[in-house]
Amino acid sequence: MFFSASVMLKWDLSSMIFYIILGLIAVVCLHNSQKKYSSSNKWFFKDKYLSWWFFIWVIIAVFRLVDSPIGGMDASNYIKYFQICRNNYMPEYFEHFAGDILFKYFNQAIRLITSDYHVYFIAVYGLMCYVFIEFCRFFCPQNVCFAPFVLVFFLYLRGFSTIRSHLSIVIILIACILLAKEKNKVALFVALCAALVHKAALLYAMCIPFCMFFLKRKITVKAVVILFAVSIFASTMLQQYFILFTADMDLSGAYSSYASRSLETSFLDNAWKIAFEQMFLGLFILIYHTKLKAYTNTLSITWQRRINIVYLICIFDLLLIPVNYMLSIWRGYEYFYLPRLILWGILLHIILKNYSTKYQPILSFTFLSCFVAWMIFRVWSTWESSGLIPYIFEPFRYL
């Protein structure tokens, strides 16, 4: 039960149901917001649906019980780092946190105000939730299938453990919004700042110049296939060099260790489970490429740019699958999770239009069931290693 006093790491069905309900809140609130408030220029908190979504998720994140490993496997370490981040002598274990200077300054700025980690969590999850919702609102057109957005909570849930990488995701998502607003130089600068929160984010920040390049030129299916082949070849050839580089530059032993792991494993062992949704989306892009283009052409110039950016981000994400596997960056699939969900929503809307209105609700429910099932599978696959189940609401711990 998610109001249990126990802090044992164990599978809990009520916690899983609770997570699904929180995911459905995203679906309902985004759907109602898009139908009632058509302008993405409206101030966030004047939208009652988005406001409720924001406050519910932030409260759930801030006041969860964190008692290692409950509440996120790495959450207790982030709390400890926050509480000692202003110390002159940092324990060796936390040096890789302090090595990412923007993350260090972020912690120190809040630590000047308070030592209460709940305030720190308010800043972290308030920012995270705000940007996630704003990104969905900004890039999601009205005519989409909202079923995939149940998985927005899965991305948010992963942030219960991986705070540093999720903050870098937030920065890159902000850069994508700036790019859509044609603030290219600022977008590139902001994206590069993500690497100062988490070094691995430098790889994903390259999506901004990638989008800038192909927004001016058409990217064909043939070009994508060629780029994917190049990605496989390059990541294989550069793997050994990366291992040596990270060891020589002392970029924390973890980077070299991660890259070395894939030398002993096959893509079919576990990597395919992580990349499955990305590859499946790639297949749908291939099948519905022409219809997707026709759909985009019906939109205004502003929305065409936004959808093209989402599409290019998803293509860039596909190209990184071999890189993520070779370097064993298991969290790499999380960086562009939201753009993929938006593109899923568009593609499923295109599919739904082929059927009469009589069958569309049934198909929509079927799609929603599939995404809920995928969420259950992903939580089931990661709950033990990430410490995300059971969920315990801290104020009710002893009830």
The answer to whether residues 22 and 56 touch, using CB atoms and an 8 Å cutoff, is yes
Cα atoms found within 13 Å of the Cα of residue 145, Cβ hemisphere only: 27
Residue with tokens 């099948």: 287
Tokens of 192: 């590069």
pLDDT score at 271 = 59
- pLDDT range class, residue 2, cuts 50, 70, 90: very low
Query: Residue with structure tokens 């049934």?
Result: 362
Residue type at 255? Answer: Y
For 184-217, the pLDDT digits (tens) are 999 999 999 999 999 889 999 999 999 999 998 8
- Cβ atoms of 159 and 125 within 8 Å: the answer is yes
Tokens of 199: 């070094």
**pLDDT at 249 > cutoff 70:** no
What would the mean pLDDT of 106-132 be, rounded to a whole number? Answer: 96
Can you give the pLDDT at residue 173?
98
Radius of gyration for the chain, computed over Cα atoms and rounded to the nearest angstrom: 21
Residue with tokens 């290019």: 312
Contacts of 177 by beta carbon, 8 Å cutoff, 6+ apart = 134, 135, 138, 139
Question: Which of the two residues, 249 and 177, has the higher pLDDT score?
Answer: 177
Residue 387: per-residue pLDDT: 92
What are 342-371's pLDDT values in tens digits?
Answer: 999 999 999 999 888 889 999 999 999 999
d(CA 79, CA 110): 12
- pLDDT value of residue 328: 72
How far apart CA 332 and CA 321 sit, in angstroms, is 8
% of the chain with per-residue pLDDT over 70: 87
The predicted pLDDT at position 40 comes to 56
Mean pLDDT of the chain: 87
